[in-house]
Chains A and B, each alone.
Chain A
Amino acid sequence: MFSSFMTNAWVSGTIIAALAGAVGFFVVMRGAAFAAHAIPNGAFAGAAGANLIGVNPLFGLVTFALVAAFGIGATSRRTKSDVVTALALVMMLALGAAFLATSTEYEPAVNALLFGEILGVSSSEILPVILLAVVCGLGLAVLYRPLLYSSISPELSTARGVNVTVIDTLFLVVVALASALAVPVVGALLTFSLTIGPPAAARLVSDRPNRALLLSVGFSLLTLWAAIASSYLSNLPIGFFVGTLSALVYLVARAWDIGRTRRFQRQLA
């Protein structure tokens, strides 16, 4: 499991999980679940397109994720946002399907793109992945306070002079970059599970932002490490483990939360 060819899997997995946990915390805080689901699917179309014209898949992933993010960000302010998100999402997926239909890609490669592949990041890609992850991390660190503030109360933060629109767009850009990194490993359809399950669990466990953020990163790391290990041992696709383990983490946290509320009520009574 820890042999040399798995080094990339562990390194890239750790980076992706830490980033997904941090980004996901804000996704949950802002209720941006649908956008966070749509953007990785945009990235899928990008990877399929890059394959078709023969450029680096990472380039396609980043470009299309950014297009999806800006598309959702720009139009959602004017109209009912989840309708636009839904349409952007299916358009991106349909484009991906068209790219796949015209290319000579064989089935396992398509499955890997949709459902993940633990060896999805090659040695030559690990450096760009680390660089992009650092950019994302720095972006989140800079945005941390205004992002948190505008997540909790958009009105108050506007009054304090925070430009909510700019913050919103910058946040979607960070989501896009993080998604582009996660898609080759976790898969376009499962990246979302990682950005929603562990962070939602963390929010149930702690009400304090800093602690919840750290918990979110921790849960996300545990989920992905467990997924990589199980996938390696069982030879089943990593997406299966990421999807079900993320949901499991949430359900455990939910049960714990219900138990805590009951104890609290009993103390009061």
Chain B
Amino acid sequence: MHWIFEPGLFSNDSVRTALLLGAMVSVVSATVGVFTVLRGQSFAGHALTDVATAGGAAASLAAVSPLVGFIGGGIVGAGAMDAIGVQRVKGRDIATGVVLGAAMGLTALFLYLVTLQSATTGATQLILFGSVFTVAPSTLPEVAMLSVVVLVGLVLIRRPLLLSSISVELAAARGIRLRATGVAFMVMLAVAVGLSAIVIGSILSTALLIGPPASTLKVASRFMWAVSLACVLGVVATGLGIVLAYDSYYWFPSHRGLPVSFFVVSIVVIEFALASLVGRRKLARAVVVQHDPTKAPEQVGWV
């Protein structure tokens, strides 16, 4: 096993911090992600990562904690998308796209100003593609707290959220406040995206949000089972990604390690490909059951 776990891997403090952070962030992303994929909001989730990027770049410019920037940017973006109309399915992609485009413009400006301001190189790569090894251990409690807040919030609005994700009409008929539920969810999405931005970079946090949930929804047909499996897949991808990135330092004679985000994203994509192979037949059956209009969602185990 010597060639997988390089000497000094587990005695290294920054690796330990990275693994802990990665595990927490993957669990939050995967849980929020299951709802995101069910609601068909992958594009909105991705757009939030781009808005969070603008926030991260602004934070870097103002020299405040990147976590504040990522999450603050994400929440502002969620508000903007709600105002411009992401709730309506028609024209939703366009509204999302316009907010996303404007956010990338701002990112371009902020990052340019950052490179003018400081002599430290790599701000762009750090914000966009992340570097979990450089995260200060002091951010661990903040991340842990925010993770708990998001998970508790999700548990609280679990039932209305799930029902409105599966069938808007049914949810409305049962008196669920759709808009409030949607906005609450977007805020949690923004926080989750901000958290994963510090691990794999802001524009790649889509991978942890969408990848593991999309994979599990291909094979799992019960809600709790889908969430648990998504968490496991997410944690495996980040854990393995961090270990491989650490090892990659020794792969090339130049000692240029590959970024953590590259490994995490690759593993997530491989997981999705495998799940697609396994789930193809299973999915065909599950779709029939889920969309049986004569059964209430409770009866098929989804709520």
**In the complex, what residues of B have CB within 8 A of residue A244's CB?**
102, 105-106
Establish whether residues B43 and A82, one from each chain, have CB atoms under 8 Å apart when the complex forms.
yes
**In the complex, what residues of B have CB within 8 A of residue A102's CB?**
252, 254, 256, 258
Establish whether residues A89 and B262, one from each chain, have CB atoms under 8 Å apart when the complex forms.
no
Residue pairs across A and B with CB atoms within 8 Å: the count is 181
Establish whether residues B101 and A97, one from each chain, have CB atoms under 8 Å apart when the complex forms.
no
Establish whether residues B115 and A243, one from each chain, have CB atoms under 8 Å apart when the complex forms.
no
**In the complex, what residues of B have CB within 8 A of residue A28's CB?**
94
Size of the chain B interface, CB-CB below 8 angstroms: 56
Establish whether residues A111 and B94, one from each chain, have CB atoms under 8 Å apart when the complex forms.
no
B92 to chain A, nearest CB (A): 9
Establish whether residues A237 and B259, one from each chain, have CB atoms under 8 Å apart when the complex forms.
no
In the complex the two chains form, what is the Cα distance from A236 to B106 in whole Å?
11
B15 within 8 A of A: no
Interface string of A176-208 (1 = CB under 8 A from B): 000000000001011011001100100000000
Q: Which of A79, A87, A246, A247 is within 8 Å of B210, CB to CB?
A: A87
Establish whether residues B100 and A37, one from each chain, have CB atoms under 8 Å apart when the complex forms.
yes
**In the complex, what residues of B have CB within 8 A of residue A242's CB?**
105
In the complex, the chain B residue whose C-beta lies closest to that of A102 is B256
Establish whether residues A247 and B108, one from each chain, have CB atoms under 8 Å apart when the complex forms.
no
**In the complex, what residues of A have CB within 8 A of residue B111's CB?**
111, 115
**In the complex, what residues of A have CB within 8 A of residue B265's CB?**
90-91, 93-94
Q: How large is the interface on A (under 10, 10 to 19, 20 to 34, 35 or more residues)?
A: 35 or more
Question: Interface of chain B, helix or strand or loop or mixed?
Answer: helix
In the complex, the chain B residue whose C-beta lies closest to that of A38 is B46
**In the complex, what residues of B have CB within 8 A of residue A164's CB?**
none
Interface string of B148-166 (1 = CB under 8 A from A): 0000000000000000000
B238 within 8 A of A: no
In the complex the two chains form, what is the Cα distance from A193 to B210 in whole Å?
23
In the complex the two chains form, what is the Cα distance from A192 to B108 in whole Å?
14
In the complex, the chain A residue whose C-beta lies closest to that of B47 is A37
Q: Which of B102, B128, B259 is within 8 Å of A101, CB to CB?
A: B259
27 A-B pairs with C-beta separation under 8 A: A31-B93, A31-B94, A79-B276, A83-B37, A83-B214, A85-B43, A86-B46, A89-B206, A93-B129, A94-B207, A94-B264, A97-B128, A102-B256, A106-B121, A110-B124, A111-B115, A114-B124, A190-B108, A192-B100, A197-B97, A237-B112, A240-B105, A240-B106, A243-B105, A244-B102, A246-B102, A247-B98
Give the interface of A toward B (CB within 8 A): 28, 31, 33-34, 37, 79-80, 82-83, 85-87, 89-91, 93-95, 97-98, 100-102, 106-108, 110-111, 114-116, 187, 189-190, 192-193, 196-197, 200, 236-237, 239-244, 246-247, 250-251
